[in-house]
Structure 1
Amino acid sequence: MCLLSSTVVQYTRKMASKRKCFSVEKKMEIICRLEAGERNVTLAKEYGVGHTTIATINKNKEKIKTLFNNNFLKKKRVRASTQDQVDKALLQWYIMQRSQGVTLSGPQLQEKANFFAKQFQIEHFNCSASWISRFKVRHNIGGTVSEESLSVQKSEWLTKVWPILRKDFNDEDIFSAAETGLFYKLTPDKTLQFKGEKCTEGKLTKERITLLVAANMSGNLKKPLLVIGKSILPRCFQNIQYLPVDYYSNRQAWMTSSIFMNWVRHWDAELQTQNKKILLLVDNCPTHPQIGDLTNITLVFLPPNTTSVLQPMNQGIIRVIKSTFRKNLVLKIISNMDENKDENYPKITILDAILMINDAWQQLSPLTIANSFKHSGLAEEILDGPSSSFSNDIEIEDDIPLSVWAGALQNQLPILKEELDEYDHIDNGVAICEEPFEERIVKNDDNDDSDDNVEDQNEDVPAPNVLEAFKAAEILNRFVHSNFNDESLTHSISLLNNAVRYCYYMSKTDYLN
C-alpha cells in the first residue's frame, strides 16, 4: 500500500508539473479559434493539453470574454515588454485576426507592430524578428497554423458543411440577416458631398441610419426591420404610438454586439412561445458574437471573407429596398415641385425615413427574396415569375435602376442620369459597425453608449392634428375608389377611414364634455 501510495504521489506531481497555466488572452485566442471552426482535438494537440482542458475553456467562454473585454489581461509567468502599448495592441489585433481565420506570418506581425508604434508616437522602435519571437513566447503563440485548421472556402462550405447544417430545417425555417448603412437625408443634389464617405464619426452620422434586414429562404417571412439611429428619442417621435420597426440608438448609429445579442435573444423568446425552431445565417464579424443560451435559434456564421458571395441579403435584397426608398424620395421631390414650394428638396426626418424604408421592405416580393437565396448558392432552384406585383395587376419590377425609373418621368427631375446612378449606390461602403479594429485599439474607445441627449433640430416636425388627418383620409378614400379596382385595398382604406373618423369624433366629444 505504501508503494502504491508513493507511486500515485509521484505520478500526480509529474502531471502537475506538466499542467499549463493559460493567460486570459491565450484562453480568448483558443475561444476565437473554436468559434472560427477549428476542432477541439486539433487545438489540444497544438497547445499540448488534453481535449478536456480545451472543452473547459469553451464552457467558461462567457466569463473569459468578460474578463478580456474589461481589460483584465494579466500576464502569467512572462517577461514584460519594454513597449507595452505596442505589445497589448498587437496582441488584440492578433486575436481578432485569428478569430476571422486569418493566418499571420512573422513579417506581417512586424509590419503591424511598426504601425502601432507609429500611431502611439513611439520613437526609435523598429520591430525585429527577435522582438516578434519574444512576443510569441510572452503570449504562448504557436507556429504556423496548418491549412486544415483554416475556415473552409465557399465551395467546400456549400458542398460539405451547409448540407449538414440545413438538413433539419425546412426552407421556411432558414433565415438570413445582414446590415447596411443608409444616408436617409441624402437627396440627389448632395451626392458629391457624400461620395466615398464611410461615415464612422462626425456630423455625417446624423445623416445616416443602420438597418438590419432579415428574411427566410422561402421569402414569405420578413422580420420587421431593425433600425439604428443616433438619437434615443428624436423629436419627430413625439406623439408616435407605434413604429413598424425595431428601433435602437447609439452615438454612431451603428450595429454593436449588445444590440445584435438583444435582437437575437428577443427573437428567440418569441420563437419559444410559438414552439418553432429556426436556423439564422449571419456574417462572421466582431459585432456578431456567439450567443450560448439560445434555445430556438441555431446561429450559423458564414465563413470569413465570403459575405459578398454567400450572404443572400447582398445578392440584391438590400440594393432593391434602398433603391425603392430613393425612388419614393424622388417622388416627394417632384410633389414639392408640383406644389411650387420654395424648397424642392424636402427635409427628411428619421421618422419619414423609417416609414419609407418600411414601405420599401413590405413592397419587396417573396420571389425576389427566394431567388437571392438561390443566387448565393444556399437554395436549390430559382423560381420563375414577376419580381414584384400588387393585387391590382399593376406589375412593379423590383430591380429597375433609379436612373431608368426616373427617365420615365419626362425630365421632371432636374438631375442628370450620371448623378442618379451615383446616388443609387452612394452608401454601399458606409460603415455599419465599429471602425477598423486597429484604429479602435489606438483610440482605446470602446464606448457604445447611446447619445441620449442628441436631437436633430431640423426634425422638430409637428404631428398632423385630427382635423388634418380627417380631411386627408377623405381625399385618400376618394382617390383609391376612383383609381383602383382592388377589394383588399379598398377594405384597408375603409379601416383607415373608420379609425380616423373615430379619433375625430372623440376629439369633438372631449371638447363638448
Structure 2
Amino acid sequence: MNKRGKYTTLNLEEKMKVLSRIEAGRSLKSVMDEFRISKSTFYDIKKNKKLILDFVLKQDMPLVGAEKRKRTTGAKYGDVDDAVYMWYQQKRSAGIPVRGVELQAAAERFAQCFGRTDFKASTGWLFRFRNRHAIGNQKVCGEQALSSASENVEPFRQNLYMLIKEEKLSVAQLYSGDETDLFWKSMPENIQASRKEICLPGRKINKERLSALLCANADGTHKLKSIVIGKSKLPKSVKEDTSTLPVIYKPSKDVWFTRELFSEWFFQNFVPEVRHFQLNVLGFHEEDVRAMLLLDSSPVHPSTESLSSEDGRIKCMFFPHNTSTLIQPMHQGVILSCKRLYRWKQLEESLVIFEESDDEQDRGEKGVSKIKIYNIKSAVFNWAKSWDEVKQITIANAWGNLLYKKEPEYDLQGLEDGDYREILEKCGELENTLADDRVWINGDDEEKGSSPKPKSGITKEVIQKGGGDEEQTAEFQLSAVRERLDYLLDFVDATPEFQRFHFTLKEMQQEIIKKQFQNRIHSRIGSFLKPRPCIVKDSFNMPSTSSN
C-alpha cells in the first residue's frame, strides 16, 4: 500500500482484498478506514471488479506478482504477450533459467505465428514485459528473493524523500553509481574472423574482461569520469602514465573492485569532483555544497559511515538488498546505453575492408590481424567516448521509477538489436542470426555474476564488387590512409615523446573508418539489396502452439 500525499495507491493484491470485504457485506466506511482509501477509489474498485478478477486469474498461479502491480493495463500485442508468458512459465516449471535474449526471440517467433508484422521485440518491450509479469532480471533461484526485496522498495523511497527534504537536496545533488563488467574484445561468435581467432594458440580469455564504474547525478548534468579496473598494473598498450587516459585506470588481481579501490575513488575523485561541479558550474556557495550518492549494498562498498566527506555533507546511502533491477537508476537504461554505444564503436573500429579476390582463409587472417590492433587502450578510449555520448535525458529518465514512480523510458534510437544486425549484414556477415547478435550485445549483463566466458573475435566488412573506377580509387586511398594511421598509432604508443598525439590520431582514425564505411554503403547499395536465402537458426526450443 503506497501513499501519494493524502491518497493511497493499492496494488492488485490489496484490491482483491477490498473486493472480498465488499462480498462479505462490509460497510463502505469500514473498508475505507481499513485501506485508507477515498469513496471514489472504493467505487472504482467495485466498478472494475470483473477487469481486476480477469487480469489476476489469467495467470497460471493467481496473485503471482500481484503485490507489485498497481494497474491492469494489458500489452499492446496481447496474443504475443500471452504466448511468451506461457512459454516462460513452461521453462520455469522445468527449472530452466530464461535469459532476456531468449524472451525476445520467443516473442518474435510468436509474432510471426500471429501475423504481427509490425511487432518488434525491442529492449523497451523486454523491460515492459518483465514489469507486466513481475519477472526480475535474475536467475531462477533468485526470483523469490527479488519478490521479497520489492517489499522494501517503498519504505526506502519514503526514507529517501525524508532525507532529501531534511538535507534540502536538489535533483542535481543526488547521485547514483554502479559497477559493471565489460568484455571489451567480445564479438559475435558466428563471424568468419571470430571462428579463426578462437583457434589462436595462447589465447588468454581472462585478460579480455574489464570492470567499470559509472556515476552521474539525477538530472544528468554531471557525469563523473569512469573508473576502469584491469588486470595489469600497466597494460602493454599503455606505455605512458595511466593518468593520461580518458578514464581512471586501476589494477586489480581479480579485475574487480575492492573496498580499498572504491574508498580511494570516493575520497580522491567523487568528493573533489562534486565540490568542483557545485562551486564552479552550479555556482553554489561553500555552505550549500552537499550530495547523496546512492549505491548497491555490495561487499566492495565500505559502510555508509566511512563513506562520508570530512564535513559530513557528501555521503552515501545504500539501496535495499536485491533491488538494483527495480530502482537503481544506472540499471534503468544508463549502463545499457553506454555499453551499446561502446559495441557500436568497437564494431566500427574492427571492420575489415576485403578485396573481392580474398578467399575465406585470407579474410580470416586479415580479421585476426585487427584483433591485435584492438587493445585495452582502444577499449578504454571507446568506453570513455561512449560514456560521454550517453544523453542527459537518458540519465534523467532513469530516475523516474525511484523518484516519481514512473516507468523509465529507454532511448535507444539507432542502438536497438536490429541496428547491429543491419550493419553486420551490410558487412557480408550472413551466417549469424539476430539471436546471436543479442547474445553478443547483452553478453556482459547476461553473464554478470558467473565465470567470465567472453565470445571473442573480430568482425569484418565483405564488400561486393561494383561501381566505377573513380569510386574504387577513392576507396583504395582511404584504405591506405587507415593502414598508415594504424602504423602511426603503433609508433606513438611505442615512442614516449610522441604519445601526446595518440588521441588526435585516434579521432582521425575513427573519422576515416566512418567515411570508408559510408562510401561503401552508397556505392554498393544495389548489391546489398540483392535477395538472399532466408536462413533460420533456432536459439531455443520452440514450444508447440497446438492445443492438447
TM-score (normalised: structure 2):
0.46
TM-score (normalised: structure 1):
0.49
Bigger radius of gyration: 1
